[in-house]
Amino acid sequence: MLKLTFSIVLAFAFSVSAKPAERIIALAPHIVENLYAIGAGERIVGTVAYADYPEAAKQLPQIGDYQGISVEKILALKPDLIIAWKNASHAPMLEKLESFGVDVIYSEAKYLDKLPDELLRLGKITGLGSQAQQQADLFTKRLDELKAQYEQSASLAVFYQLWPSPLMTVGGESWLQQVFNVCNVKNVFADATTDYPQISIENVLLKSPQVIVISEEKSEQDRESIKWQQWPSVPAVKHKQYISVDADLLHRYSYRMLEGISDLCGKLNVSRAHYKTMKVEHDNVE
């Protein structure tokens, strides 16, 4: 299903030698992107399916996917470090690799504004601290600019369609929820008890969102689409306020997420303008 890399604080669970890592296996697309961002892309000797950015990453050997990895292929690549996302399906294989003496560290995301910390820690283990610092500073600066740009904007009630079948959204303490805060909009499922709840169409109808955001994700699976036009009583449907976003930008905990956030906030601002115009016209009629 989704290959979400929903983590924010990079927690290193194992000590790593002071010697910079030279042969790295990166077990998530966002880890690959962040390594390239700090100039360590050439040190990656293996990765997983969907690690497709930048273009050079498509040429890297793949040793598995979200559901599993090959211990044999990894050992054959002779890595001195594995950087993994905390994925339950990978856990048994990673434990076996550790028993063979391979160093493993973990990436775990929870806070949007902590991504610079991940870049800095990657810089530390690769010996590329100055490049990592530069990218971290740029990320912080741009994120602060986006927050300032929209902090005074009128709020909107937004439904985020994470996946159509089963229908899933975001809420709770997910870092995607924090993206809505940057855009200064209200996620109608912000009070969900889980970060990525499965919901029903009826749940959405009761929330009456003003905007429906639909994530578009690359997948080998056929995705069912929801014909929201069937429910014209929903404000988003009535006013045709649908927004499509690139999941590769928003769902990966990488420096590129700023592109996705900027795109989402900009499109939501267009919806704001629509509702503002509707209100002015309504007030004029009265």
Q: What is the pLDDT of residues 13-31, one digit of tens each?
A: 334 446 899 999 999 999 9
In this model, does residue 48 exceed pLDDT 90?
yes
Residue 114 near residue 9 (C-beta atoms within 8 A): yes
Share of the chain above pLDDT 70, in %: 89
In this model, does residue 222 exceed pLDDT 70?
no
Separation CA 136–CA 120 (nearest Å): 7
In this model, does residue 105 exceed pLDDT 70?
yes
Give whole-number Cα distances, 221 to 112, 117, 170, 239, in Å.
29, 34, 21, 31
Residue with tokens 């709840």: 197
Q: What is the mean pLDDT of residues 66-89?
A: 91
Separation CA 112–CA 9 (nearest Å): 9
Which of 3.30.300.30, 3.30.70.20, 3.40.50.1980, 3.40.50.150 would CATH assign to domain 24-143?
Answer: 3.40.50.1980
- Is 153-285 in the same CATH topology as 24-143? yes
In this model, does residue 165 exceed pLDDT 50?
yes
Query: What is the model's pLDDT at position 13?
Result: 37
> Does the 153-285 domain belong in CATH 3.40.50.2300?
no
Burial of residue 197 (number of CB atoms within 10 Å: 0-12, 13-18, 19+): middle
Q: Domain spans of the chain?
A: 24-143, 153-285
**What is the pTM assigned to this prediction?**
0.87
